């Protein structure tokens, strides 16, 4: 431990940095012994007169200057290195977990809500035009009795699957009229497929929407399968009130800033 550090410890003064070189020569050792004896006497006398940490700091500064006069200026050490010369990366301010949380927070912001908390229609004028495709699905659980009627095409209102398919396509084209903040999109394709599943007596509905534009077609695909499911319910409700429309969800989407997404890959 060098002299200044020892002195700081004795006087219980923190945050005082000193510069004391180390010499191995006989001349250096002699000067060191002489200096320490003198400093010891000064310390003994000064203990009675120190009235504040300012007095202690002044005394230590005086001792450091005298040592520099005797031994010369001390070489720079790690203690005297300034952190200002080392640029701090902004990335180091955040931990990896904090970065992930920030990214998730940015992604989870609702685009249809303004800074004032009011509903708004998103401005897509600055977005790039790209091909966008979305696929959605849902199920209509009929029960065995109604399932048998639909599969035999014996429902009083007619061909359930054909009518529901047309309803789904029409619904996709009317999405902006049904969902208040949706954009009026020029659809390039809408497809709706309905299949009977004998395992759980249901109708499986799958809808696809496509467009080349500045906003996605997820809502169009979801509207298509929802309207098709509602039509199945309407045409079969006279036979049973236990029909359920379930699992309305997005399955896949491509295009846009967020890129491709698939429920299968997500799981």
Chain position carrying tokens 């005297």: 80
142 and 261 in a single domain? The answer is yes
In the DSSP assignment, the letter for residue 113 is B
Predicted structure pTM score: 0.57
134 and 75 in a single domain? The answer is no
Query: Residue 261's domain spans which residues?
Result: 130-266
Q: Does the pLDDT of residue 188 top 50, yes or no?
A: yes
In a domain, 38, yes or no: yes
Q: First vs last Cα of the chain: how many Å apart?
A: 61
pLDDT attached to residue 153: 96
Q: Does the pLDDT of residue 161 top 80, yes or no?
A: yes
Query: 229 with 248: CB under 8 angstroms?
Result: yes
- What's the CA gap between 148 and 241, in Å, rounded? 16
Angle, vertex CA 36, rays to CA 34 and CA 40, nearest 5: 120
In a domain, 114, yes or no: no
* Mean of pLDDT values over 126-152: 95
- What's the CA gap between 214 and 18, in Å, rounded? 65
End position of a domain, from candidates 79, 109, 143? 79
End position of a domain, from candidates 79, 96, 113? 79
Which pair of structure tokens corresponds to residue 186? Answer: 């020029």
Q: Which of 150, 101, 121 is nearest to 219 (CA)?
A: 121
* Mean of pLDDT values over 39-62: 61
135 and 254 in a single domain? The answer is yes
- What's the CA gap between 222 and 178, in Å, rounded? 12
Identify the residue with better confidence: 133 or 111: 133
pLDDT attached to residue 8: 47
- What's the CA gap between 163 and 232, in Å, rounded? 8
In a domain, 123, yes or no: no
In the DSSP assignment, the letter for residue 155 is -
- What's the CA gap between 197 and 139, in Å, rounded? 10
In a domain, 178, yes or no: yes
Total count of domains within the chain = 2
Q: Would you say how long the chain is, in residues?
A: 267
CATH of the domain at 166: 3.30.70.640
Q: What integer best gives the mean pLDDT of the chain? A: 77
Angle, vertex CA 34, rays to CA 31 and CA 35, nearest 5: 85
Query: CB neighbours (10 Å) of residue 221?
Result: 30
- What's the CA gap between 239 and 140, in Å, rounded? 14
159 and 235 in a single domain? The answer is yes
In a 13 Å sphere around the CA of 23, the CA atoms on its Cβ side amount to 17
Q: List, in sequence order, every residue forming a beta bridge with 204; answer none if it has no partner.
A: 139, 195
pLDDT attached to residue 265: 74
pLDDT attached to residue 13: 39
Across 10-24, 96-110, 151-165, the highest mean pLDDT is recorded for 151-165
Banded model confidence at residue 16, pLDDT cuts 50, 70, 90 = very low
In a domain, 198, yes or no: yes
Banded model confidence at residue 53, pLDDT cuts 50, 70, 90 = low
Which pair of structure tokens corresponds to residue 123? Answer: 């401005």
Which pair of structure tokens corresponds to residue 225? Answer: 């399968």
C-alpha separations of 101 from 5, 98, 107, 122, 265 in Å: 44, 5, 10, 24, 22
Which pair of structure tokens corresponds to residue 122? Answer: 């998103």
Q: Does the pLDDT of residue 110 top 90, yes or no?
A: no
In a domain, 216, yes or no: yes
Q: What is the side-by-side strand order in the sheet with 202-213?
A: 187-197, 202-213, 130-141, 244-254, 261-262
Residue 233's SS3 state is: helix
**209-246 residue pLDDT tens:** 999 988 999 999 999 999 999 999 999 999 999 999 99
Catalytic positions are 234
In a domain, 33, yes or no: yes
pLDDT attached to residue 12: 43
67 and 186 in a single domain? The answer is no
**58-107 residue pLDDT tens:** 777 777 777 776 666 766 655 444 444 455 445 556 676 665 566 555 55
- What's the CA gap between 227 and 236, in Å, rounded? 14
In a domain, 104, yes or no: no
* Mean of pLDDT values over 13-34: 50
pLDDT attached to residue 143: 97
167 and 258 in a single domain? The answer is yes
Identify the residue with better confidence: 249 or 40: 249
């Amino acid at each position: 431990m060098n002299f200044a550090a020892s002195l700081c410890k004795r006087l219980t003064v923190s945050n005082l940095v000193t510069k004391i070189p180390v010499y191995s020569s006989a001349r250096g050792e002699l000067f060191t012994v002489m200096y320490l004896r003198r400093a010891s006497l000064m310390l003994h006398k000064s203990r009675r007169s120190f009235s504040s940490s300012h007095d202690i700091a002044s005394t230590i500064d005086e001792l450091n200057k005298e040592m520099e006069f005797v031994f010369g200026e001390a070489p720079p050490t790690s203690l005297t290195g300034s952190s200002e010369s080392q640029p701090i990366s902004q990335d180091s301010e955040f931990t990896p977990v904090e970065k992930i949380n920030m990214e998730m927070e940015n992604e989870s912001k609702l685009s249809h809500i303004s800074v004032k908390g009011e509903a708004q229609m998103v401005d897509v004028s600055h977005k790039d035009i790209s091909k966008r495709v979305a696929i959605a699905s849902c199920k209509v659980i009929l029960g065995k009795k109604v399932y048998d009627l639909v599969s035999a095409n014996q429902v009083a209102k007619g061909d359930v699957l054909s009518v529901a398919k047309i309803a789904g396509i029409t619904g996709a084209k009317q999405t902006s009229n049904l969902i208040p903040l949706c954009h009026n999109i020029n659809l390039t394709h809408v497809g709706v497929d309905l299949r009977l599943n004998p395992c759980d007596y249901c109708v499986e509905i799958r809808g696809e929407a496509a467009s080349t534009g500045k906003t996605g077609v997820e809502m169009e695909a979801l509207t298509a399968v929802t309207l098709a499911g509602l039509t199945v319910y309407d045409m079969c409700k006279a036979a049973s009130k236990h029909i359920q429309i379930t699992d309305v969800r997005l399955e896949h989407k491509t295009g846009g800033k967020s890129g491709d997404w698939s429920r299968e890959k997500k799981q």
